Amino acid sequence: MGEKWRRIRAFVRKDLYESVKNRSILIAVVLPVVASLLFGVLDTVQTPKDFSIAIYEDTGSDFAQFVANTAVNFQLEAVSSVQQGQELVKRGQVHGFIQVEGENKFLVFLDSGRPVYFFSLSESITQLVKVYLGVPTRYDLEIIAVGDTTVSRSVLPVWITVTMSMIGVMVVSGVFAEEKDTKTIEAIGVSPAGYGELLLGKGLFGVLLSAGTVVIMAILNRLQGLAFSSWIALGGLTLVGAACFTAIGLLIGVIASGQSTARSVATVIYFPLLFPTLVSDLSSLTRILAGLFPTFHLFVGLEAVLLHGQGVGGILAELVVLLFFSTVLMGVTFLAYRRMVNSYD
């Protein structure tokens, strides 16, 4: 058993060492890390067509009814207190909360974790209040940012999702397929190392490379302020997500005839895998369709942890879905790998 794990560690060390010398792998790992820092001001997710808004108003005010009848892109959430409305914003369960005091005073609480949403919603609510009161009626409207999320952290879930899926789908598939080009897999058949050790070694390489990259991004983007429970949740998402995308990469590598074919297949799969997540907020339909992809559940979980400080309990559904994807993909990969091995015997 000890000898077996020594050989598996050797496979992992070999891949990690060669990945440092491989320009393609370095680009796949380093570019998203640098981009998460340099392009933190860019939120790649489109502004949603529908905003979820909670409203609490004094007795006699009909602002909520006006919004329901007028603003077709606002979905109202019922709240029974100011504290409840503010808490919904903090947890990311609504885009904003409006507290109506008297006839013409409005306190608007918006999540600062999503810059594009913040400014777009601020403008929409301001215009809505003007229509409600009738210009030039004087009014008092105050926009209050909820949370202290920086812009760079607000887009970090996007970059981590991009990086982990890229490493798993594109890097791991190429690394595995390279063993076919170099005839390493055929040589294993007459060596002490088993075929299973090669597959496990490549899998651990993908998970470790993904996890290490996430750690670097977390340090560079100053996530030290996260609560311990959020770190545990981030670790769980990283491991399960890395396993899921590594399984996809291994499956591509197993099926492909060589490294060139693996890269072509990985490129074709990668962008359709990622794109639905980036446009999931455009409408309810795109969000439903995005839920069919593991990238979406990783992204949603990362948002809950990094922007709203959720622990494992707050992302349990995402962890379960990612674990399901990982289990199914690993099973399919194992069956395809066993079939490939039988063809060498």
Average of per-residue pLDDT values in the chain: 80
Report whether 177 contacts 141 (CB < 8 A). no
User: 23-27, 81-85, 230-234: which range is least confident on average?
Assistant: 23-27
CA nearest to 174, candidates 264, 262, 261 = 262
In the predicted structure, residue 282 carries a pLDDT above the cut 80:
no
pLDDT-above-90 percentage for the chain: 23
Question: So what's the pLDDT on residue 274?
Answer: 84
Q: Which of 139-148, 187-196, 213-222 has the highest mean pLDDT?
A: 213-222
In the predicted structure, residue 44 carries a pLDDT above the cut 50:
no
Report whether 300 contacts 241 (CB < 8 A). no
Q: How confident is the model at residue 40 (pLDDT cuts 50, 70, 90)?
A: very low
Question: So what's the pLDDT on residue 169?
Answer: 93
Distance CA 205, CA 108 (A): 48
Give me the mean pLDDT over the 325-331 stretch. 95
Distance CA 270, CA 248 (A): 10
In the predicted structure, residue 66 carries a pLDDT above the cut 80:
yes
Tens digit of each residue's pLDDT (9 = 90 or more) over 7-16: 677 767 766 6
Report whether 40 contacts 113 (CB < 8 A). no
Q: Which residues pair with 105 in a beta bridge?
A: 101, 140
Question: So what's the pLDDT on residue 140?
Answer: 83
pLDDT-above-70 percentage for the chain: 76
Give me the mean pLDDT over the 301-319 stretch. 89
Tens digit of each residue's pLDDT (9 = 90 or more) over 209-229: 999 998 888 877 766 667 788
Q: How confident is the model at residue 34 (pLDDT cuts 50, 70, 90)?
A: low
In the predicted structure, residue 45 carries a pLDDT above the cut 80:
no
Which residues, 6+ apart, have CB-to-CB distance to 310 below 8 Å?
91, 230, 233, 304
Higher-confidence position of 156 and 319: 319
Higher-confidence position of 85 and 240: 240
**pTM to 2 decimals?**
0.65
Tens digit of each residue's pLDDT (9 = 90 or more) over 76-135: 887 888 889 888 888 778 888 998 887 778 888 887 666 556 767 887 888 888 888 876
Q: Which of 63-72, 137-146, 205-214, 265-274 has the highest mean pLDDT?
A: 205-214
CA nearest to 329, candidates 285, 264, 284, 269 = 269
Q: How confident is the model at residue 271 (pLDDT cuts 50, 70, 90)?
A: confident
Domains by residue range for the chain, with CATH: 2-42+155-344 (no CATH), 51-149 (3.40.1710.10)
Report whether 252 contacts 333 (CB < 8 A). no
Instruction: Report helix, strand or coil for 49.
Output: coil
User: 275-279, 301-305, 314-318: which range is least confident on average?
Assistant: 275-279
